[in-house]
Each structure stands twice: as structure tokens, then as C-alpha cells.
Amino acid sequence: MTATSNRTLVQELCWTEWQPLQGSWLDRTFPEQPGLYRIRRAGFTEWDYVGQTGRRLRDRLSDLKGIYRTEMPYRAPHTVGPALWALLDATACTFEVSVAPVAGDDQHRKTVEAAVISVYHQEHGGSPSMNFGRMPHGYRMSSGNNTKLAARGVRFRGGLCTEPEVSHLPGLPAVGPLEAPWHAGWCGHSWAPWQPIEMTEHLPATDQGLYLLRGRASGEIIYIGQGRLRHRLIAHRRKQQKDSHPQGKIFLEEGGLDFTSVTLPGFHDHQRLELENDLIAAFLMTRRVAPRAQFLGEG
């Protein structure tokens, strides 16, 4: 079964027609179900953002009301709010939105979102412009918005800036095709040999990159991740002792974990997230399910 044949998982989505984003949360003709939404600037074919929600779609879109106010919104209630506000401020554009209902649980919906973004990534040479925490040049992103940040005095609204920031840097083109796992060059990466997760202590503390977890009982990839490799893998190893944690329960059922990784020196967070997203999408599009422990909580 090939990834190409399974692009039907993306092609079968029933997207609504594009319509103005502003006021879309009042449109009672929108599907009542959870699902996906995509946002672009009017007059453009390229997308600026793809998101998902377990709520009613128009309820999630109402979280973007703040982009039409004078001050840049915080990253809550919507993480892309600051970026869309900045695009409006810089270009006085008009945003359009299209939505698609997606049946199934949170894990399935988030994995379909990954597939939509990755097919776009493959076909356009880049991801939607504001996905993965990116910002337009000349703008700094706001902080989150919660009582802890406010109490510490570190909550702030972003806006214009003159210094370059990591969030201004572009994403990456796809490294390789979305293909069936697993082989040593999967999705264009040079994966290290599989090792027991107990060997993570020997990894350099500063190495960052991508990693896969394989369950020993099933022999299947059950999680795809990115970040500081030793730190992330030790955190997964500790979850093997927590049967109350949704991932820990799966790890225990597997009777042990093995891992493989690829180091990506010099890559930034949003670039690793982009490549991680491609791996999750490739898995879905060839197996038709998410890795068992994906999107089950990172705490």
C-alpha cells in the first residue's frame, strides 16, 4: 500500500467553499461537527494556516476574533492569532476560510491534520506560511495568556520589531517522499540503527533531531517525535512506569521500547516540527491509522 494511493485520505475530505473569515463564526451553515479548517489571504492560492478542533468548527473560528482588534492578541485562545494579526497589520489583507468535518477521536483528527499539511508541503515546496509557530518578518509574537504568566509579570503583547527572530525564518522543503515505514532512509532521513531505549543515557545532551519509538511486543512504530533527543527519550522511558498515563499504558503493554533517531544540527524548532509532521503523515497514509501512542498527551 503506497502513500500515493492513500492520498485519498486527504482528497476525500469535504471542504466547504472559501468564504470571508471575519464573521464566519456566525455562519450556522457550517458543519456542527469537529474537523479541520484552512485559512488563506483572498486572491492567493497558497494557504496561511491549517488547524483542527474537537469543538464545533465555527466555535473554534470565533477564537480568532482578536485578530481584528487594535492590539495583537495573545497566543491564547488561538496560537495563530498573533501571526494573522501581523499579516493584517502589514498588508490590510482579507482572510478566507474553508472547513471540513472529520469523524473520529482526537488522535485520528490530529493525524489527518498532519496529512493535510504534509501533502500541501510536498506539493507546494513548503508548509502553510504561519503553521509551526512562524511569524511575518518585522513582527514579534505575543506570549501565552494565563494566570501564571500574568502573576509572574511575563505576559506580553507582541507587535512590530526591528531585530530578526527565529520565527521569521522559512520552513523547509520536504526532505523525501511520504512513503511506507520503515527503512533506514525513510522519508529522506539517514536513521541510526535501532537501540534499546535504555541506551539513551549515552546520547549527547545537546543533540537535537527526530526519533521513532518501536514497541518490542508488536515490532511496530508507536510514536514519532522531535526535540532534544536524550531529554525526550528519557521522558518516554520514565513513562514506562506510569500505567495511569495513556502513553505509559501502551509502553507497558509493549514490554519495552527501542528507538532510532536522526540528528539535525542547526535546525530550528519549527523546522523539526515540520519534518516530524511529515513522518506522522507518512505513517497515516500507508497504515491508515496513527502510531498507537501519538497525540495521547505529553505530560
Query: Which backbone phi and psi does 153 adopt, to 5 degrees?
Result: 70, 25
Strand-pairing partners, residue 258, are 196, 214
At residue 218, does pLDDT exceed 80?
A: yes
CATH of the domain at 252: 3.40.1440
Q: Which is nearest to 91 in space by CA: 139, 141, 24?
A: 139
128 within a domain of the structure (yes/no): no
Domain that holds residue 41: 5-103+135-168
110 within a domain of the structure (yes/no): no
Share of residues in the chain with pLDDT > 70 (%) = 96
Grade residue 2 by pLDDT with cuts at 50, 70 and 90: very low
- List strand residue ranges (DSSP E) for 47-144, in order: 49-53, 95-101, 139-140
Structural domains in the chain (count): 2
Contact present, 178 and 5 (Cβ < 8 Å):
no
Strands 208-215 and 159-160, bridge-based pairing: unpaired
219 and 77 fall within a common domain: no
42 and 160 fall within a common domain: yes
Q: Which is nearest to 279 in space by CA: 210, 195, 183?
A: 210
209 and 240 fall within a common domain: yes
Grade residue 252 by pLDDT with cuts at 50, 70 and 90: very high
Give pLDDT, residue 263.
97
Q: 262 or 29, which is more confident?
A: 262
C-alpha cell, 54: 474537537
149 and 257 fall within a common domain: no
152 and 38 fall within a common domain: yes
117 within a domain of the structure (yes/no): no
Angle at 28 between CA 27 and CA 32, to 5 degrees: 115
pTM of the predicted model as reported, rounded to 2 decimal places:
0.93
CA distances from 248 to 196, 235, 279 (A): 16, 10, 22
Give pLDDT, residue 6.
46
175 within a domain of the structure (yes/no): no
3-state secondary structure of 112: helix
At residue 4, does pLDDT exceed 90?
A: no
Mean pLDDT of 138-157: 96
Residue 109 CA to residue 60 CA, distance in Å, equals 15
At residue 227, does pLDDT exceed 60?
A: yes
- Write the pLDDT tens digit of every residue in 180-213: 878 899 999 999 999 999 999 889 999 999 999 9
59 and 157 fall within a common domain: yes
25 and 148 fall within a common domain: yes
C-alpha cell, 97: 476560510
Give pLDDT, residue 288.
86
126 within a domain of the structure (yes/no): no
